[in-house]
Every structure is written in C-alpha cells, then in structure tokens.
C-alpha cells in the first residue's frame, strides 16, 4: 500500500515598502521575521548570502540592495547573532569584495566579515561548495526578484547557486545543459544546504532580459519565509507566472522538497491578489523543448530551435567575460570580434548573463 505524501505547509510574509529607507526596511524585517517564524538568532553564527551576480551599482537592480542587507544584518546583530556575509559572482576574481554594489561598505560599518567563497571550499554529493558552510549554524538567502533568460525567474532558491565558488558554476551549466536537468541540480543543492530563512528584495525588481541586462521595475515589496520554495512560488505569482511553469519550483514540488502543493502556502500581510503586478515583462516559457529531455542524440536538434545568443558587435567592448564563462567552448575571438560556434552552444545563456554592456540578445534564429 502506497503511503500518502506528507503534507508540507509554509508561510510567506509580505510587506509593502516603497523605497530603500532604513527605518521602513528595519521595521518590515522585524515584523516579517516574527510572522514567518524565523529561527532564534541569539548566539548563532549566520551566513547572509545576498545576490551579487555582478558587482555593479544597486540602482541597476542586479544585486540585493545594500539597505535590505543592512536591515537584515542589523536585526540579527541586535538580537545577539554572529553575522557573516559572502557570495561568488559569475566572474569571481581574487579582488572581489562586493564594493560596487554597496554591500561591502555596509559590512564595514556593521563590522561584518566578508567571506571569500573561493577559500577552503569542499565537495559534497558532487557539489563544490564554499567552506564557510561548515562553520555556520544558519544560512539566510537574501534574494533579488529578477527574470532570468535560462531559469525564467530567479529568487531565493536560485540564489543558493552562488554558494558554488568561481567557475565551478559554469561547469555545472555545462554538465546540466537544459532547463529540466539544471533545475533538478539546483533543487539538489537546496536540499543539501537547507537554508533557514529567506528575504526577498522586490522593492525594485528586474524585468525583461535578466538576470543582469533587464530593466529595473518598482514593485515596492519585501517577502520573507523559512521556506525558499514557497517564497519563490508567491513571488512568481505576483509577477504573473504560474509557479509550476518555473522549472526549479516545479521540480521541488514534484520531489516534495520544502513543498508539495502550491495551495498549501499561507500568506501573511495580505493575499497574493493584493500584490499582483500588471505589465511585468517576463521571459516567455518555452514549453516544447525544455521540459522534455529527449536524450543526448536529440539535444542538437532541440538547440537548433531554441532561442540563442546573438551578438551586437558594435556594442561589444571585447572584455571577453563571455568567453571566460563559456565552458562549452562555443565562443572565440576571431578577427577582433566574438564569434559563436553554434553546434557547441548549449543554450545556457551564461554569456548573456555576464555581459556588462548588454551586447548579447537572446533570440530565435534557426538559420544563419
């Protein structure tokens, strides 16, 4: 006799916060932490993991805003926690300190150590992870609400991918080359890390060609939960997605990891319909080619019909970050411009993700 699936309930707290003002953010975080049932921080060593995909100014909405980071850190410090912070961006060099996005300055002001994820990394279940995970009691995901060309949406769960240091992330894209298998890998990571709390910065979100080259979009929201999947499911609905159309969320629900039914999510602070956003520019869901894995021999055919990177050579500054990031070896500099060898391209869109000047579009281009 088959046992019934366990019932997994989850609560997501939502607050309207119209601007990045310290008192407003701190009050909201305090209310939401209590309402969502955040763990007792007293005496605990807590790693805050913001989204710092690229170390760029906060007004571009690429990163978790430094004032959201400050509010969460201040709340924990005031309650006796030992707070650390860190992230590994897409292109991680030894000088990276999250200075450009403003988080490093907040760390200095609050005397919070910034951890280099490249140091003392370790391997568990096939994942190379930041060594600091062995030394903390809790992990908090401080996410940014953004669209994502490959994942469609990135939030509290996908933010954990930054716990994989340096170019190990690019290698994971090469190893898991389509949305279905990549999503399963991210959920495996979620199940290993088991984050204890998540705070979503959606005061200014990103719409369009995210996660770096989209446009800022004011939503005026913060979300919090002890359940990353539930938080992302609520945020996805607010911006107009069906959560089960997001491969990472669909995989987690199917496998009963943190959640097994979207309907089991309870919201605090208002109903989802009260916060829904009109005219949010989303990434269109590719239903034909990315949810069904057709086997290795058919991957080339799938990629032929999938959206692909298209370079704007006039805009390109030849920084070659895309070439560095591409572990499929699909990109080369030829005659002073980046050229793509299409049969090698796995459609992970990492090149688009790291381009600092929006010189790469993702388009349908079957021929040529």
Average pLDDT over the chain, rounded to an integer: 91
Least confident segment among 54-68, 160-174, 235-249, 298-312: 298-312
Average pLDDT over residues 167-181: 91
Residue-level pLDDT at 90: 80
Q: Is the pLDDT of residue 153 over 80?
A: yes
* CA distance linking residue 258 with residue 194, whole number of Å: 9
Do 153 and 241 meet the contact criterion of CB atoms below 8 Å apart? yes
Judged by DSSP in three states, 198 sits in strand
Among candidate residues 207, 168, 199, the one with its CA nearest the CA of residue 185? 168
Q: Is the pLDDT of residue 291 over 70?
A: no
Q: Where are the domains of the chain?
A: 10-274, 301-364
CATH 3.30.70.20 fits 301-364, yes or no: yes
Least confident segment among 89-103, 112-126, 171-185, 352-366: 352-366
| Tokens at 344, concatenated | 């090698």
| pTM for this prediction | 0.91
What is the dihedral sign for C-alpha 83, 88, 93, 97? negative
Residue 290: pLDDT band with limits 50, 70, 90: very low
Count Cβ neighbours within 10 Å for each residue of 215-251 and write b for 16 or more, e otherwise.
ebbebebbbbbbbbbbbbbbbbbbbebebeebbbbbb
Q: Is the pLDDT of residue 25 over 50?
A: yes
pLDDT over 70 for what percent of the chain? 92
Q: What are phi and psi of 247, to 5 degrees?
A: -55, -40
* CA distance linking residue 189 with residue 137, whole number of Å: 17
Residue-level pLDDT at 367: 47
Among candidate residues 111, 292, 140, 316, the one with its CA nearest the CA of residue 213? 316
Q: Is the pLDDT of residue 299 over 90?
A: no
CA distances from 323 to 34, 91, 194, 351, 362 (A): 45, 11, 33, 7, 16
**Taking every pair of C-alpha atoms in the chain, what is the biggest distance, in angstroms?**
66
CATH 2.30.42 fits 10-274, yes or no: no
């Amino acid at each position: 006799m088959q046992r019934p699936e366990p019932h997994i309930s989850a609560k997501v707290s939502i607050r309207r916060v119209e601007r990045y003002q310290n008192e407003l953010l701190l009050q909201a975080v305090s209310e939401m932490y209590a309402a969502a049932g955040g763990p007792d921080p007293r005496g605990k060593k807590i790693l805050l993991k913001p989204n710092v995909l690229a170390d760029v100014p906060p007004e571009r909405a690429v990163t978790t805003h430094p004032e959201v980071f400050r509010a969460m850190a201040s709340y924990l410090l005031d309650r006796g926690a030992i707070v650390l912070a860190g992230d590994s961006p897409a292109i991680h060099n030894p000088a990276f300190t999250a200075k450009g996005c403003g988080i490093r300055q907040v760390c200095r002001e609050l005397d919070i150590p910034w951890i280099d994820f490249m140091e003392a990394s370790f391997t568990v279940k096939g994942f190379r992870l930041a060594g600091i995970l062995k030394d903390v009691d809790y992990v908090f995901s401080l996410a940014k609400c953004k669209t994502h060309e490959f994942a469609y949406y990135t939030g509290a769960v996908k933010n954990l991918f930054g716990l994989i240091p340096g170019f190990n992330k690019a290698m994971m894209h090469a190893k898991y080359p389509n949305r279905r298998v990549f999503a399963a890998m991210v959920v495996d990571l979620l199940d290993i890390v088991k984050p204890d709390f998540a705070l979503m910065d959606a005061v200014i979100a990103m719409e369009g060609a995210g996660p770096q080259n989209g446009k800022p979009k004011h939503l005026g929201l913060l979300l919090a939960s002890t359940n990353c999947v539930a938080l992302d499911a609520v945020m996805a609905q607010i911006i107009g997605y069906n959560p089960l159309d997001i491969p990472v969320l669909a995989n987690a629900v199917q496998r009963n990891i943190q959640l097994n039914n979207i309907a089991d999510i309870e919201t605090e602070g208002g109903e989802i319909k009260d916060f829904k956003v009109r005219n949010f520019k989303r990434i269109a869901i590719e239903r034909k080619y990315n949810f069904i894995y057709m086997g290795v021999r058919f991957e080339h055919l799938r990629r032929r019909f999938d959206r692909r990177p298209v370079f704007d050579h006039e805009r390109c500054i030849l920084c070659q970050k895309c070439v560095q990031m591409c572990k499929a070896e699909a990109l080369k500099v030829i005659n002073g411009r980046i050229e793509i060898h299409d049969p090698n391209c796995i459609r992970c869109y990492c090149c688009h993700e790291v381009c600092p000047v929006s010189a790469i579009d993702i388009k349908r281009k079957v021929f040529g």
